[in-house]
Structure 1
């Protein structure tokens, strides 16, 4: 049973029980409360009819229930499949069937007439928010009632040994989405490397507007919880709201993608937002143009640290160091627990100045694509 992040949160609950772990709108969960809810969610899963091939899907916004379900399932040992709610119906059905999801945690905002047939596919539905549970068919239960009915007793889920802790599906820009198989230990190791470059502590308050279903949002939430920091969850990826929350909560860290930074500095320039507590902007998900890097640094008055990664590598491969500041046009040094090489089209190491493909080796590299041995063979070498 995977316990890495549960143990971190349990330690924080003992040492800093009243420290805010998650701020979600008007709700604040302390580390003590978060631990209790994770244990209750895990315990509640024992009351469901689960088999060795069962999986739990999470079809939610950036909200506290997402993280409770994600971490509670890891504690239970039940494989988790985060769902990209921006996908179309065909891809959603494909992922559900391909992964073999039989339990779905879903926010009520996604329960509509057109989504009912999709949601009725799942024997177990754990619903966040008010809705007509009867419309979902048998096996639907309110999230809070699910927690209340649990005795928090931990009984590890017995699953097939070949099934990973998580399956993160890629966007599927070329063909169907591919399920990336990753284990909790790989996230822990990725955090080790991440923290060798970035200074994050329990004094930090970070805006988490990055979708939690995305590998960037996932690793940011995990590394922050590991360090005992405070996550400020935003359900909307809106620059104006982000600036309002930075000011309101005196945020110190702001991880975003370049496109949002571009809009954000335009809005900030109009005035009215106090971002004086912000000490670092962390950029990833796409290349950050030099001009934008310099504008963010100048206008927000903070360090800008760009990184690079792939879902298939858990995900961070390289990131600039807090101690050295960001370098425009650079994603920073490779994490200390990874090796990379640049390979030319010929299959040989690329020469100085030659264009090549980045190959990555390390414990954070995925096991492969779920139920897709051909694609796995195409992307993984025999030595990993």
Structure 2
């Protein structure tokens, strides 16, 4: 068996040292930062954070649209010895309150409009200070002190990314400096990123895939152009305006992107396209290859618990469009059959991810950590702890992996991982329904659409009209049910629990009828 691979790890904030002083590093709405500027901004923000939150390892949360603060914070917090907790700007106060309370955040920086939606007593923990984004950034810019590069241990915690599970509230995945550094190095390596690359950061920076747009580009010494787009055409305009070479998206967005009329000279500027958050269909692969004939297409598979596991070599996309590919650098991906052994070729098994990209577990949740993070199979060259994904895959004779199905009930819609229980709890909290089951139903544009099956509460005469309005107030847009199905009764299984399998079959049959 080959020995354990060697790799070099530096503290995350060392990424700011990768580029040449005069080259562009970050294009904002009103200014462009060179690498020299970026180093200064990171140093000052880190120094201000260290003064405001002197306790090493304390959590600092951000809840804002893309801008200087959300882009610089991953490196500044790491340099200050703090742990960054980026919150999806699409979330609403109930989800934000849970993340603040669960993480024990000492400081929340956010846009004033978002902060205004938080009810000070109920939604913000007493120990968490709240500071408006503009106030924080003005104070950091005027701060006289600077903070030099950190001396953090590679295993020190650098970030907590919250992701929905198949049950329960969002859980925080703990990522170390090593996880993030090696993830940036790995992606920069297999994408072939270089210092003259310009990445359009269209995905939320609160996701591991979105945050890696920043980190991998900066590892290569390139430039990032963050964008909060309103319509897909905004992406086309940004590619043209900023000379974008790298574009990452999820399948539903790619569907919309390929529906645009791309001028050949604009489409030709893109060197690479990357996809994660759901599988590309054969038809969508063909559309992308036709729309962007000179761009290399990288289908990828990953899970927040181990960052990313596989990618498909662009040279194989046309021949094997449905494959997940092979392990990315710094990852070891094994297929383990039901007997606990390495699966044979074309034998279905569970995807198990081993190696230094494996996160440190779920924040303050040893029970769920023990379920997903378990000792690596004996055949692993890394050993240690592995992520047992729960996803069923098979490995072909040529080593390419193919996705078979998911073990859990996760809803994956438009690239978002959605907890059914979170939607169900929101519906029940309205008092309008007595029972609720949220399911993901196949959808051509979304991957899966959220369907909610409910039984009205006995005294809720206005439930049908009021429930959609209440859910719109309490859940972010991507969690909103596409259809609410009203039932006189919901089926139960032998154990007395609501039978999701029967309901899913009923919905599937009804939609096909």
Give your verdict on TM over 0.5.
Answer: yes
In 2, the alpha carbon distance for the partners of 1:53 and 1:72 equals 13
Answer whether contact 2:53 2:106 (CA < 8 A) is retained: no
SS in 1 for 2:15: helix
Corresponding position of 1:72: 76
Tell me, yes or no, if structure 1 residue 98 matches structure 2 residue 92. no
Corresponding residue to 1:144 among 138, 144, 162: 138
Residues 96-140 of structure 1 deviation map (CA, whole Å, 9 limit, x = unaligned): 1111101112123413355555458564334224xxxxxxxxxxx
In 2, the alpha carbon distance for the partners of 1:180 and 1:289 equals 29
Residues 130-158 of structure 1 deviation map (CA, whole Å, 9 limit, x = unaligned): xxxxxxxxxxx442223312411459799
- Distance verdict in 2 for CA 1:155–1:184, change over 3 Å: closer
Q: Which runs of 5+ in 1 are unaligned?
A: 130-140
Corresponding residue to 1:354 among 347, 350, 353: 347
In 2, the alpha carbon distance for the partners of 1:222 and 1:158 equals 17
- Distance verdict in 2 for CA 1:253–1:93, change over 3 Å: same
In 2, the alpha carbon distance for the partners of 1:53 and 1:203 equals 35
Tell me, yes or no, if structure 1 residue 287 matches structure 2 residue 294. no
SS in 1 for 2:200: strand
Give the C-alpha shift of residue 49 in structure 1. 4.6
Give the C-alpha shift of residue 182 in structure 1. 0.9
Corresponding position of 1:83: 87
Q: TM-score, normalised by structure 2?
A: 0.66
Q: Which runs of 5+ in 2 are unaligned?
A: 1-8, 376-383, 386-513
In 2, the alpha carbon distance for the partners of 1:64 and 1:33 equals 11
Corresponding residue to 1:127 among 132, 137, 142: 132
Answer whether contact 2:25 2:224 (CA < 8 A) is retained: yes
Between Structure 1 and Structure 2, whose CA radius of gyration is higher?
Answer: 2
- Distance verdict in 2 for CA 1:155–1:93, change over 3 Å: same
- Distance verdict in 2 for CA 1:268–1:162, change over 3 Å: same
In 1, the alpha carbon distance for the partners of 2:83 and 2:193 equals 28
Residues 311-353 of structure 1 deviation map (CA, whole Å, 9 limit, x = unaligned): 111x121123467667511232212322121123443433333
In 1, the alpha carbon distance for the partners of 2:329 and 2:53 equals 43
Answer whether contact 2:57 2:81 (CA < 8 A) is retained: no
In 2, the alpha carbon distance for the partners of 1:235 and 1:213 equals 13
- Distance verdict in 2 for CA 1:163–1:304, change over 3 Å: closer
Corresponding position of 2:505: none
Within 5 Å, give how 1:1-384 maps onto structure 2. 4-12=11-19, 16-52=20-56, 54-114=58-118, 118=123, 121=126, 123-129=128-134, 141-154=135-148, 164-236=157-229, 238-268=231-261, 274-301=266-293, 302-313=295-306, 315-321=307-313, 327-382=320-375, 383-384=384-385
Give the C-alpha shift of residue 274 in structure 1. 2.2
- Distance verdict in 2 for CA 1:48–1:254, change over 3 Å: same
Answer whether contact 1:21 1:230 (CA < 8 A) is retained: yes
Give the C-alpha shift of residue 51 in structure 1. 3.0
CA RMSD of aligned residues (A): 2.7
Corresponding position of 1:134: none
SS in 1 for 2:260: helix
Q: TM-score, normalised by structure 1?
A: 0.87
Task: Identify the structure with the greater strand proportion.
Answer: 2
Residues 155-183 of structure 1 deviation map (CA, whole Å, 9 limit, x = unaligned): 97999x99722111112452111111111
SS in 1 for 2:374: coil
In 2, the alpha carbon distance for the partners of 1:373 and 1:250 equals 46
May I ask how many residue pairs the two structures share in their alignment?
A: 366
Residues 44-88 of structure 1 deviation map (CA, whole Å, 9 limit, x = unaligned): 123215435621001122222112222101011111111122234
Structure 1 stretches of 4+ with a deviation exceeding 4 A read 113-117, 119-123, 154-159, 322-327
In 2, the alpha carbon distance for the partners of 1:319 and 1:158 equals 30
SS in 2 for 1:267: coil
In 1, the alpha carbon distance for the partners of 2:310 and 2:211 equals 16
SS in 2 for 1:51: coil
